Structure 1
Amino acid sequence: MIGPRLTIAAAIVTAVVVTAAAVAGILGLDVSLGLIDPRVQASAPVLDLEAPAVIAAGEPATVVVTSLSATGSLPVVVRAGTTTHRFTVEVEAGLARLELDQTLTGQAGVLDLRAGSLATTIEITPGPVVGDFPVLAGPHTVVANGADHAVAVAIPRDRWGNPAASGTEVVYTWTQPGPGTSTGSSRVDRGIAWVELVSGTKSGWTGISAAAESAVGVEARITEVPGAASQLVMEPVVVVGSEVGDAVELRSGPIADRFGNTIPDGVEGRFGVETARGPHIVPGTVQGGRLRAWWVPVPGAITISAAVNGVSSPPLTMTVVEDQQK
């Protein structure tokens, strides 16, 4: 008869341990082999965990924990991304409060909260957009031909550096040398918004601004440059010396693209010179909207033409006469 009695006694002990474990689990206590961890037992059991579901970045948030005990202390764990913060709050009249400040709520995302066996989350949305947010434009240089494209990208942010929420409208204004002022808009997608621009037909710089909510970004600029030279003529050669062997300046007429934009300084070209001694190539550079170079002529008939960007001028023919009085 001893065997059955021992079996019944063991079953009773097991039932008591299981019941204790279930109660401890409900109260948020840890049980190991029927023994409550004394460190956890010192904490007040948790009945409820409350926090705001959604807040804007940087706003304070109050976490309220309801305890079965009127007094005591409670551990609260807050996880922000990959960082875990541990707090201990004191229970008074069955309630404990934890205030979360901007150091924890400044970054948009989700905060995971845990107290005892209960858990909840706080979603942090981006705050209002602040001014002087970045506006980028590229390429930095386009051809003023009415066909080249550029893209302006806005990156609106709140005061904490969080990108504006997806769907936030961004309004762009850009002023071009030719068409004047134009506007366009787009919406933030994954932190950025962009708009496409088409070049005008007049060279100069284009200023681009962007506004989101009540904030204005930093202005961006692109430069619209002349296209290839459309036509080219030679100006008469001016003899600057009184003797053969003195240098003369070779100079083209004004050089412009097909829309009348003057070709900028620094563009390279060449002069083709034919004399009785044969053809010569004289390198030149655009200065003041004209191709220029210096050359020492020889007596006799010469033919000169200018070429820039693959466009050549009609030839200019002249005769250099040697000074007979030297």
Structure 2
Amino acid sequence: MQVVWFAAGLTALVVGASALVRGASKLALSIGISPLVVGLTIVALGTSAPEIAVSIGAVLNGRTDIAVGNVVGSNIFNVLFILGASALITPLVVHVQLIRQEVPIMVGASLLLLAFALDGRITWLEGAALTGLLIAYTAFLVVQSRRESAANTAEFDAELQPAAAHAWDGKWPVQLALIGIGLALLVVGSDWLVGAAVAFARALGVSDVVIGLTIVAAGTSLPEVATSIAAALKGERDIAVGNVVGSNTFNILGCVGIGGVVSGGAGLSVAPSLLAFDLWVMLAVALACLPVFLTGREIARWEGALFLGYYVAYTAYLILAAQAHDALPAYSSVMLGFVVPLTIVALVTSVLRAPGTPPQR
């Protein structure tokens, strides 16, 4: 039954996020908000809505380890698995704005989360600071979008405006209903999914943190998976990359920030295992985007394969660590002594051989 509840919760999260994004986007367009602003704010927040819902649900259920672990695991999953799989489908275009602005912001948010977590707790004040940064970042994107050229605005208009003037969701009552249904599904789905995840952890004898880093993280990242892979298949390769980078920033500022505020005086507890390993992996993955993105105009297929391989290796480590397996010391030694140094050498060599700067898109 727990598997059924988990599947039902996951389905409710995905459907709820989709309804919320559709309703909010169409309502914004109906009242005259720029489609570009909608894409940069509402859609970006919408793909992070499952993570936000799960984090709040975990806090309300007293499972703050899941709240933080879900964000850390989702950010690792987004870069290593989603970008890796998308790059294997087709080499991914790297928008110059990602290198100059969005990736540094993502790295900065990751560093800030690590700094806040070093004492083992995200306090209410730190959560409020992250939430304030989310609001400031969103406002910055809105202001920046108004400076876009007319040609770029026209391009987004063509992509985001309803295909027909009389679409079924073209009326504001329908749009409000979609928003309401989406929010309700997110609330219910997060409760089901967190409850089932806790039951899994107890049945398997592993911690809430491991479940949050793996099953819950992968499940709540389904909107990003669908968006990025669909974009790669359609040839919208820059969208596939931007979706992941933007979502990671929203995950840290929104999920941890709002979760910290909701937690009140208790704050969000940060498990020792997260401090010892997973938060550093999240930061390393964010930093890895810089040399990979700087290697040229694209994220090559071999770099995508490298990302996927590292996600498999990371998941294997979590499983071995959860079981306290005898092979864990040898596995860790191989990863630290051979695989990581060879990867660093390959990335540095690729950067040095980079044939110029990315396109000014």
Q: Report TM bin, short chain.
A: under 0.3
Q: Which has the larger Rg?
A: 1
Q: Which of the two has greater strand per residue?
A: 1
**Higher relative contact order structure (alpha carbons within 8 Å, sequence separation ≥ 6):** 2
**TM-score, structure 1 normalization:** 0.15
Q: Which has the higher helix share?
A: 2
